[in-house]
Amino acid sequence: MEYEDYVAALRRTGVIPVVKIENEKDALPLAEALRKGGINAAEITFRTAAAEKCIAAMTAAFPDMLVGAGTVLTAEQADKAKAAGAKFCVAPAFNEKVVQHCKEIGMPFTAGVSNAGDIERALDAGIDFVKFFPAEQAGGLPYIKALSAPYSSVRFMPTGGIGEDNFQEYLSFGKVVCCGGSWLAAEKLVKARKWEEITALCRRAVNKMLDFSIEHVGVNCESAETAAEGAAFFERAFSLAPDDRGASVFAGTAVEFMKSPYLGANGHIAIGTASLERAEYQLRMRGFEADESTRSARAVYLKDRVCGFAVHLLQK
């Protein structure tokens, strides 16, 4: 996997479960639980003797899954991870020997940093995507934002102290590619084989990350006059002020009257999301495709129709 493809894959995924597995027999049930919850990725830490075999089992069973190795502290561990099929390696700190070795073997590697000095060393080694660890203890998002001012080219994967209550705040900052977190598949849940609970945690995280909401409903009209009449009705009945935006007239922000028929027999339903990129990725996994002919910088229609309506996906 090319380095920028690796970073792009992490960005689409958004949250990466950081997992410690003691028993290799738990690898496949865990992978299935994560995937059912909408997270097709895992960082398996080299903190147990089973890590190598777990990575091998997951990558063999699910070749499309973004499986990597975490807590990679030595070149030997990087070699083992690569042989097992890992697509990337992550470390809690910066080790120049490991960085250079991973470059030599073609393994995407994310080194850990916690301050400006670490970032300087990473940049000197040609790395501009780093793990910020331990994130909360090292200063959290305010510190990442402060570091981003002088180091504007650096991208971050904060890990450590990240959980359901704060990961979305990190993702809202453009320099954050993804968040790593153990809460999605905590060690105690894996040991107890609470697969359904892990799936539920992943699903909640995905839903929170995407933050889907209905933004408005678009109604296809035969003419500009008909569209104006529709908006006028909503103004008289519900005091929703009309807003002529050229191709359509809005009644408040909830209803859009198209001046001529567009996609969908009846019109369209606009769905807002916190991340268009991550939403499209999740929708593809659910079997829905974007209509590329409709794409703009911050929106795209789906190919599917529902009850005569097109579905318009919008970046909030």
Between the alpha carbon of residue 92 and those of residues 111, 146, 173, 179, the distances in Å are: 7, 21, 21, 14
Helix axes 27-36, 51-61, angle to 10 degrees: 50
* Structural domains in the chain, sorted by start: 3-210 (3.20.20.70), 213-315 (3.10.180.10)
Is the CB of residue 82 less than 8 Å from the CB of residue 1?
no
Model pTM score:
0.94
Active site residues: 43, 131
Is the CB of residue 268 less than 8 Å from the CB of residue 218?
yes
Between the alpha carbon of residue 291 and those of residues 60, 219, 306, the distances in Å are: 32, 20, 15
What's the rounded Cα separation, in Å, for the pair 69 and 46? Answer: 7
Q: What is the residue whose two structure tokens read 């922000």? A: 253
What's the rounded Cα separation, in Å, for the pair 138 and 156? Answer: 13
Residue 295, pLDDT score: 98
Q: Which two tokens stand for residue 190?
A: 């894996």
Residue 247, pLDDT score: 96
> In degrees rounded to 5, what are phi and psi of residue 192?
-85, -5
Would you give per-residue pLDDT tens digits along the chain (316 residues)? 899 999 999 999 999 999 999 999 999 999 999 999 999 999 999 999 999 999 999 999 999 999 999 999 999 999 999 999 999 999 999 999 999 999 999 999 999 999 999 999 999 999 999 999 999 999 999 999 999 999 999 999 999 999 999 999 999 999 999 999 999 999 999 999 999 999 999 999 999 999 999 999 999 999 999 999 999 999 999 999 999 999 999 999 999 999 999 999 999 999 999 999 999 999 999 999 999 999 999 999 999 999 999 999 999 9
Residue 1, pLDDT score: 87
For the chain, helix, strand, coil in percent to 5 are 40, 25, 35
What's the rounded Cα separation, in Å, for the pair 253 and 278? Answer: 25
What distance, in Å, lies between the first and last C-alpha atoms of the chain?
Answer: 31
> Nearest to residue 276, comparing CAs of 295, 263, 253?
295
The Cβ of residue 87 has, within 10 Å, a number of other Cβ atoms equal to: 20
Residue 226, pLDDT score: 97
Q: How is 14-29 classified by DSSP, letter by letter? A: -EEEEE--S-GGGHHH
